[in-house]
Amino acid sequence: MSNNSDIINNSLNNLINQLASELSGRFIVHMEDYLNKIEQRNPKKILITSKELSNLLSLSPSTIVKLRKDGMPSVKIGDAVRFDIEECKNWINQNLKTEKDENSKL
């Protein structure tokens, strides 16, 4: 009986890892698309608020805060935090794709 449980658990773990890899890949593509659209509208360097970045990426404000704590570049002007779209795009490409690659190796 334990052998069957081990087989089921291993199969479930493999499916979860495959799903996580697929979802993170789709998430990265989605984020890149949004950032590219914004950049095309205004190719000048632009700083946006956390709320604007949150809306653009369809992420919660708390996720933006977490990404910032994880190293996503931002600019602090007084108490205000702003994000440069190009810098965020580069950071996402460098950091989140690395996580996706690591998940696909599991």
72 pLDDT band (50/70/90 cuts)? very high
1 pLDDT band (50/70/90 cuts)? low
Whole-structure pTM value = 0.55
Q: Which pLDDT score, from 0 to 100, does residue 28 have? A: 80
Domain with residues 2-104, CATH architecture: Orthogonal Bundle (1.10)
For the chain, the domains span 2-104
Q: Which residues contact 34 (CB under 8 A, 6 or more apart)?
A: 56, 57, 58
Sheet hosting strand 47-49, strand order edge to edge: 47-49, 80-84, 75-77
For range 61-90, the mean pLDDT:
92
82 pLDDT band (50/70/90 cuts)? very high
pLDDT, tens digit, 9 for 90 and up, residues 8-22? 888 888 888 888 888
